[in-house]
Amino acid sequence: MSAALGEGFSVGLLLSVLVGPVFFALIQASLTNGFRNAAALATGILISDLIYVLVTFFGIKIIAGFESFELFLGLGGGLILIGFGLSSIFKKKTFRPNSGGIELPRQKKRSAFAKGFGINGVNPFVLLFWISIASLVNLKESFTESDYFAYYGGILGTVFIIDLLKAFIAKQLSPLVTDRTLYWLNKLVGVLMIFYGLRMIWQTLVKSSLI
């Protein structure tokens, strides 16, 4: 069991260093709305990963048999990311407390949870990652039921803890960040999300041999 936990921990570390739309959304949430808001977003990410784990572990053969499922998820996910990006770009300038401007209500934690769940959940490459993990696990004939729990728990726990650490560090840097910086950070995050959305659509079309 300890070996399975250690292996899951190493896979979680690898997954945590990947920089994608979730990473930028997490940093943005911490700087703009605080650590608790970012923690809610990270929890949304964790729950969407957990759902993918359950789906891929118990139904990998069924999912892999539907080619159109990946195409639908890729195109739909790309469009949703582009929508998030446009929303961030055209978002009106906001002010944090004691910034000298008008303080607007912070984003509610349930909205942050839904955003984290959505951004991570609509990414087809997250699904493909968990499919590959499920395929790898199925090859481990020596794994017991407790090993499965330890392996997946190691991955999910490591990713979640490191996400919280990223948010905490970003919040500590918050006093050094001005409202102008946050304004342009929203623009940057929006552009990056649109980029990831377009890339997701392109890769999905290429993989499906439609272009």
- Give residue-wise pLDDT tens across range 42-82: 999 999 999 998 888 887 656 655 667 667 766 776 787 78
Q: Judge residue 91's burial from the number of C-beta atoms within 10 Å of its C-beta, 0-12 exposed, 13-18 middle, 19 or more buried.
A: middle
Closest CA to 196 of 16, 24, 11, 14: 24
The tens digit of pLDDT for each residue in 188-204 reads: 877 887 887 888 788 77
Query: Mean pLDDT score of the chain, rounded to an integer?
Result: 77
Res 96 pLDDT > 50? no
Other beta carbons less than 10 A from residue 109's beta carbon: 18
Helix (H, G, I), strand (E, B) or coil at 87: helix
Q: In sequence order, what are the residues at sequence separation of 6 or more whose Cβ sits closer than 8 angstroms to the Cβ of residue 58?
A: none
Residue 40 banded pLDDT, cuts 50, 70, 90: very high
Task: Say which DSSP state 75 is in.
Answer: H
The tens digit of pLDDT for each residue in 141-182 reads: 677 888 888 989 998 999 899 889 888 887 787 676 667 776
Rg (alpha carbons) of the chain, rounded to whole number: 19
User: What six digits make up the tokens of 77?
Assistant: 């996910």
Q: Judge residue 124's burial from the number of C-beta atoms within 10 Å of its C-beta, 0-12 exposed, 13-18 middle, 19 or more buried.
A: buried
Instruction: Please list the residues that pair with 119 across neighbouring strands.
Output: none
Average pLDDT value for residue range 89-109: 55
